[in-house]
Structure 1
Amino acid sequence: MTLLVVDDDPIILRLMEGVLASLGYSDVHFALNADEAMQLIERKDLSFSTIYLDILMPGMDGIELCRHIREIPQYRRVPITMLTSVTEKASIDASFIAGATDYINKPIDVIELGARLRVSQMLYNEQKLADETRNLAEVLRTELDASAASRVPAFDLGDPITIYDVPRVINALAMENYLHRLSRGRRFMLGAIGFQIRKVESLYARSTPAEFQSILTDVAEAIFENLRSHDAMISYYGNGSFVAIVPRVSRISQEDLEIALSATLADFGLTVEGGLPMNLGLSVGELVQSSMFETDPKKLVARAIDRANATQTSRYGVDLLHSSFG
């Protein structure tokens, strides 16, 4: 496991060196600024499995550096943890939007750092295995005829795959970390809205992996565009389910949002085979709010998804999930 730590404070770097060594991590590289970090990242003989970035640095700060790192294909899925003494929600939000996986507050707690490193290692190994599986699928696609290749799945319908290049959209793990790291009071100030793609099983069955991921990206873009004024954080949870985290005081009409999303998706001009309109639709759940006694992020997300599914069932009937797409 090769680590990179970037911080403009030499004292922090020495502290991290000692802490990481005590945890058994010796293959660690250090940088005092973004330029030094990028020089290390661009070296052909180095491949980092976890990266730590200080948020506040002179010149290019850690948030912008995180954004640059995510633009490098090799590092799109590598865990990036922010090191910060900043407590403003805006800075934390900006870090996750830029591609951060997690963050740790300064002063650094040794036990917490060790636990999060183990999680990062598990995540890195899982993502590496997933990448190898996708590469194998690509090889098979080149070797098989077109009809057989179209049946090679790169991911399952239930996989919470990462959607790239849509503002304020982060992956499910990053969303979980983001919500868990907020204080109970801050989580109480948030609500969640669930979205469910209608007829998603048929849509998935009739799409190639690339086509289905493109559709998910378009849906994420539509959700972002229609929640732009609410500073939403959006994530995909698999099975055609999205969740947007918004301020609990947001005044959002469930029905109006569904209509607006349908109009946005229609404007995208999505089509099925033969050039016919796809008529892609989303069911929107009611805004779910936390209480002071129940602020578990996983339960908040699960309730939001349940509300979206309940909306779909009540308005369109459960059989719609299994009907043919078109």
Structure 2
Amino acid sequence: MRILVVEDDRDASELITEALRCAGFTNTQVAVSGRDALEHLNGAEEPFDSVLLDIQIPEMDGIAILRNIREREEYKTTPIMMVTAMSQQSYIDKSFSYGASDYLIKPFNIEEMIQRLQQLKKRIHETSKDRQQFHGADDLIRMFKDDYSFDYDEPLPLSDVPNMLDYTAFENYVLQLGRMRLLTSSILAIKISDRSREFAGIDKTGFTALLRDGAHAISDCSGAGKTRISYRGAGLFLCLRRSLFRLSTYDLEQHLERRLGKYTTMIGGDNALVFAASEEVPLRRASRTGMLSLLHGVIEEAEAKTAERQNRGSLPRSFLSAQRQSAEQRKLKKRSYKMLLNEILMDESGQDRLMVEDAQTRRLTR
């Protein structure tokens, strides 16, 4: 795995390279300016597996480089982590809007960075599998079949929808906002399902079109310019809003019903679609480590409402949520527990011991 680190500070790049080595990444290249980064990208025989970007670098800032990278077809899904001292919300918003996968603020906790890099490693593995998916003599047949069959639980990419983040970037974005304790940010989950519970009467092209229209409808109803949306698979969307006014879940569900009504004939009859939205929950209610639990909570509520509307009865929410969870929902629950456990262990062992506070690390705030 090949990693490009774009960092003009020598001490910072050495520290990042060492953290990468501890996480199992030994093949790294360092660029010290914007022009140098573009030369590395243009001269690479094969695309880098991941990029770590500072924002304040000479000749071309990191966000401009991020945009340049995302415009390249071979880097559309490459994991990109911003590693920077810029903690302002405007920089975080721009970074995720232009395609960042994660955002780490200097000076950083070395243990946290290694954990984030391990998550990055999983993303790289998933991305490399996607790149290799259609190689070999049977490509044409497999691509043809892929248009007619799909995994309902799969988080299909909807990158052409404004303000859309993939599920990992969305979680990392929420975690960053959780540090700020923003008073106007809130989150809710929206589930689009059908009576068959797996959209058995529709092909992948039709299902993707339905999801895309659904994402546009959610954005329109919740305030397009102040909304971030993520699709997690199994018909489930997460929506982060910034507004002083709460969104009516009833109005949202009615808007979805009007916007997506045309798909009922494709699926099989009137009232085939089921829409359910959780209540909107302010981010200020949770600590940073409680953010993922908060995400799981709104997902659980939307799943429970969906199950009730699919005529499955008023069963306990814990039972309903256990009946069908996508792989990404199970990962989210596991990750929320893991973060909570790590916080407890760090508190017990003394968090200050894990912070790098020597003269070398202080220079990371440049």
What TM-score range do you get, normalising by the shorter chain? 0.7 to 0.9
Among candidates 175, 198, 209, match of residue 214 of structure 1:
209
Query: How far has the Cα of 1:28 moved from its partner?
Result: 1.8
> 2: CA distance between counterparts of 1:194 and 1:293?
16
What is the 5 A alignment of 1:234-249?
A: 234-247=229-242, 249=244
- Where in structure 2 are the equivalents of 1:153-192 lying within 5 Å? 153=150, 156-183=151-178, 186=181, 190-192=185-187
Work out whether residues 274 and 309 of structure 2, in 8 Å CA contact, stay in contact via their aligned partners in 1: no
Distance apart, 1:81 and its partner CA: 0.3
Match of 2:293 in 1: 299
CA distance in 1: counterparts of 2:139 and 2:26, whole angstroms: 40
Who is 1:80 aligned against? Answer: 80
Shift of 1:117: 2.1
How many corresponding residue pairs?
A: 311
Question: Quick check: 1:224 aligned with 2:219?
Answer: yes
| Partner residue, 2:125 | 125
Name which structure has the greater RCO, CA cutoff 8 Å, separation 6+: 2
Query: Using a 3 Å threshold, how does the CA distance of structure 1 residues 72 and 255 change in structure 2: closer, same or farther?
Result: same
Offset, 1:200: 7.4
Q: TM-score, normalised by structure 2?
A: 0.71
Change (3 A) 1:225 1:65: farther
C-alpha root-mean-square deviation of aligned residues, in Å?
3.6
Q: Please report how far the alpha carbon of residue 95 of structure 1 lies from its aligned counterpart in structure 2 after TM superposition.
A: 1.1
Query: Structure 1 residues 270 and 66, CA, compared in 2 at 3 Å: closer, same or farther?
Result: farther
Letter aligned with residue 291 of structure 2: P
Q: Which amino acid aligns with 1:71?
A: E
The answer on 1:30 being equivalent to 2:13 is no
Q: Distance in 2 between matches of 1:303 and 1:21?
A: 36
Alignment of 1:277-292 (within 5 A): 282-290=275-283, 292=285
Q: SS state of the match for residue 162, structure 1?
A: coil
**Counterparts of 1:139 and 1:318, CA distance in 2:** 45
The alpha carbon displacement at 1:189 in A equals 5.4
Structure 1 residue 40: Cα displacement: 1.9
Q: What residue identity is the alignment partner of 1:67?
A: R
> Corresponding residue for 1:89?
89
From the superposition, tell whether residues 305 and 293 of structure 1 become closer, same or farther in structure 2 (CA, over 3 Å). Answer: closer
2:226/2:243 contact within 8 Å kept = no
In the alignment, is residue 56 of structure 1 matched against residue 56 of structure 2? yes
Matches within 5 A, 1:255-266: 255-265=250-260
The change in CA–CA distance for 1:68 and 1:140 in structure 2 (over 3 A counts) is same
Distance 2:75 2:54 in 1: 18
Change (3 A) 1:104 1:144: closer
Secondary structure of 1:81's counterpart equals strand
The amino acid of 1:288's aligned partner reads: V
Letter in 1 for 2:152: L
Identity %: 27
Partners of 1:308 and 1:289 lie apart in 2 by 16
SS in structure 2 of the partner of residue 30 of structure 1 = strand
Aligned to 2:13: 13
The corresponding residue for 1:107 is 107
- Conserved 8 A contact 2:53-2:82: yes
Q: Which residue of 1 aligns with 2:345?
A: none
Asked if the contact 1:270/1:278 (under 8 Å) is kept, the reply is no
Distance 1:314 1:230 in 2: 33
Corresponding letter in the other structure for 2:160: D
**Is contact 1:230–1:246 with CA below 8 Å preserved after alignment?**
no
Provide the residue aligned with 2:141 in structure 1.
143
Deviation at 1:290, TM superposition (A): 4.9
Counterpart contact for 1:140–1:149, Cα < 8 Å: no
Partner of 1:197: 192
User: Residues of 2 paired with 1:31 and 1:94: CA distance?
Assistant: 22
Per-residue CA deviation, residues 103-128 of structure 1 (Å, 9 max, x unaligned), is: 11112443333332222122211232
Amino acid at match of 1:259: Q
CA distance in 2, matches of 1:215, 1:131: 25
Report if aligned partners of 1:235, 1:243 keep a CA contact under 8 Å in 2. Answer: yes
Distance 1:113 1:293 in 2: 22
Q: 1:80: Cα distance to partner?
A: 0.5
Q: What amino acid does structure 2 have at the position aligned with 1:4?
A: L
- CA change 1:210–1:68 in 2 (3 A) is farther
Match of 2:83, SS state, is: strand
Tell me which of 223, 233, 244 is aligned to 2:228: 233
Question: Any gaps of 5 or more consecutive residues in structure 1?
Answer: 320-326
Aligned residue in 2 for 1:47 = 47
8 A Cα contact 1:101 1:177, kept in partner: yes
Deviations, residues 136-155 of structure 1 (Å, cap 9, x unaligned): 6x975733797x665543xx
Question: What letter is aligned with 2:104?
Answer: I
* In 1, Cα distance between equivalents of 2:207 and 2:123: 24
Measure how far apart 1:164 and its partner are.
0.6
For 2:101 and 2:38, locate their aligned partners in 1 and report how far apart those are by CA, in whole Å: 19
TM value normalised by structure 1: 0.78
Judged with a 3 Å threshold, the aligned counterparts in structure 2 of structure 1 residues 114 and 302 are, in CA distance, closer, same or farther, namely closer
